[in-house]
Structure 1
């Protein structure tokens, strides 16, 4: 059985998942074409390229928004800091020789937030194949239910500020497209380290893991580590929580490909990357 294993030794986020899958051999150009079915491609550009994180060559995936209006404070702890310039941090040795795809669309419909219902409608209308649609809908439902639970709202009243922002829509649906493209039949994951400390979000200063992330990870083994930073984002946590059938150590498998997806942050003593391992299990 063709199996994908998420090795989350430095946490998991949406952009790390896509970077790792591209690094493992998935085709980002085909993903970019598929994503056009959402009809929001005037709102973003995508880029990807190789970077070195603490000695490990990995792939960094960026969603570059075409308007500043979508930048909310909530993004400050995900990957917004690098949106405008892919190799701003010289100490990361970011040799970014990736693709820059510039679409010449005039930006017009900018949403700083979208409702859960709008996202579901967009996915249903996009005519993705069944597997991509089902994965995407399940991940959004997981996040929507967590946000609704925390804010005391029914699912159809949930507004996605962080996740409804375009980059997280791309991260979730893009991940589903790449997993489908790679012919993955089974997903497994390590336990998820969440990090510690605190994070600034729309509602103020919150503990790490942020409430939505913790809610999403109910029933999922959380790994401890002493890094004072947010390692698992709501998007990354939901991708793992929904797709992984089991959580634990690397299963017995014949490894076919390995990918490293870079996160935005750089840590002193370990590479901030997500490793994906793809191969045949019995």
Structure 2
């Protein structure tokens, strides 16, 4: 199984909102605190509290600070994040902080490691970034999808003065992200959130089909008059696609009858071929023919080839190496007039098993197409 995280930035996204949403969805707070403690950061405490806002209960992450160091250089934060013992968590946190450092350095014409972070140099940034990385790791999230980020208008006050929204650093970090305008004013996406999305390789396309596992709501500090200020995460599981290197065997046949071809295809499937099929062809001198194919694993290809040659009398077989992606599939059984029909379901389509439908048609006298239609549409016995 592969764990998927889908982020829905309902009113925007900040590092603390994402962290709170992941905790609300089940990320263990102790593991997050332990990862932050690895950095050597002192004078902090992280709590997550339940908040009711506009009829919705969610979690809010609060960082309490007793240390008076309010800003650090990017190099300081990167070095601290690199101390986290779990290398996957450390690598994600370092990547996010390096993204911030590179953007801030480019904007201010400074060396990225030496650029002095003001609002981003405090405890909150390190706790949020390391905390999110640790939460995703603890939840065993493999892929992250993010819906379009709402971008507010207006301005934001920074150490450099009043700047347009989104702030220049945020705009640079969001390059390649999918965004949408919103009626909300002010900063709706923070540089920390944008850097985290970049570091974890968030995909902005449609999320995959998945089985829902948990939902978490992260509440921001800003209070809105008409809606909850939340970011939502949805966790789900999906079966990974099976990608394998296989072999296609094929031979041209212009002197084999249709009856023999039908037998050979069935015989190859019974002998271990993953698939077998024929394609009509026209050979030299206008002779009608068929191309017989078989799909096999590298381990069974030799045996399948010998059977193709023996059954058809062909003088040669061609081989092609291919890579096949097989999507996960499940099966269930429905009943049509009391008789079982198995159905195969993939991520995008499902259909009844042909042989079962034929058995039902023969025993009931129903047309085969009717049996197939009933079985395809029905969740229960007919």
TM over 0.5, shorter chain: yes
Instruction: Report the 3-state secondary structure (helix = DSSP H, G, I; strand = E; otherwise coil) of the residue aligned with 1:6.
Output: strand
CA distance in 1, matches of 2:54, 2:206: 24
- Rg: which structure is higher? 2
* TM-score (normalised: structure 1): 0.81
2:17 — aligned with what?
16
| 1:142 paired residue among 62, 84, 99 | 99
- The answer to which of 174-183 and 30-39 deviates more is 30-39
Alpha-carbon shift at residue 248 of structure 1 (Å) = 3.4
CA distance in 1, matches of 2:219, 2:206: 21
- Is 1:277 the counterpart of 2:234? The answer is yes
1:116 — aligned with what?
74
Instruction: Report the 3-state secondary structure (helix = DSSP H, G, I; strand = E; otherwise coil) of the residue aligned with 2:152.
Output: coil
- Is 1:52 the counterpart of 2:46? The answer is no
Contact in 2 for aligned 1:14/1:171 (Cα 8 Å): yes
CA distance in 2, matches of 1:18, 1:174: 6
Alpha-carbon shift at residue 249 of structure 1 (Å) = 4.0
CA distance in 2, matches of 1:127, 1:18: 17
Instruction: Report the 3-state secondary structure (helix = DSSP H, G, I; strand = E; otherwise coil) of the residue aligned with 1:112.
Output: coil
Alpha-carbon shift at residue 112 of structure 1 (Å) = 2.7
2:303 — aligned with what?
none
Alpha-carbon shift at residue 186 of structure 1 (Å) = 0.8
- Is 1:243 the counterpart of 2:193? The answer is no
Alpha-carbon shift at residue 262 of structure 1 (Å) = 0.3
- Structure 2 unaligned spans of 5+: 240-382
The total of aligned residue pairs comes to 238
TM-align CA RMSD:
1.4
Contact in 1 for aligned 2:212/2:237 (Cα 8 Å): yes
1:167 — aligned with what?
124
1:200 — aligned with what?
157
Contact in 2 for aligned 1:53/1:273 (Cα 8 Å): no
1:256 — aligned with what?
213
Contact in 2 for aligned 1:187/1:245 (Cα 8 Å): yes
- Is 1:151 the counterpart of 2:92? The answer is no
Runs of 4+ in 1 over 6 A off after TM superposition: none
Instruction: Report the 3-state secondary structure (helix = DSSP H, G, I; strand = E; otherwise coil) of the residue aligned with 1:25.
Output: coil
CA distance in 2, matches of 1:257, 1:192: 21
- Structure 1 unaligned spans of 5+: 70-110
Contact in 1 for aligned 2:93/2:199 (Cα 8 Å): no
- Is 1:186 the counterpart of 2:137? The answer is no
CA distance in 1, matches of 2:113, 2:8: 34
CA distance in 2, matches of 1:150, 1:256: 41
1:221 — aligned with what?
178
Contact in 2 for aligned 1:113/1:161 (Cα 8 Å): yes
Structure 1, residues 156-215: CA drift from partner, whole Å, max 9, x if none? Answer: 221222222111100000110111011011111111112111111111111110111111
CA distance in 1, matches of 2:3, 2:205: 17
* TM-score (normalised: structure 2): 0.60
Contact in 2 for aligned 1:191/1:248 (Cα 8 Å): no
Alpha-carbon shift at residue 223 of structure 1 (Å) = 1.3
Structure with a larger share of its residues in strand:
2
Alpha-carbon shift at residue 116 of structure 1 (Å) = 1.7
Cα distance change of structure 1 residues 245 and 46 upon mapping to structure 2, 3 Å threshold = closer
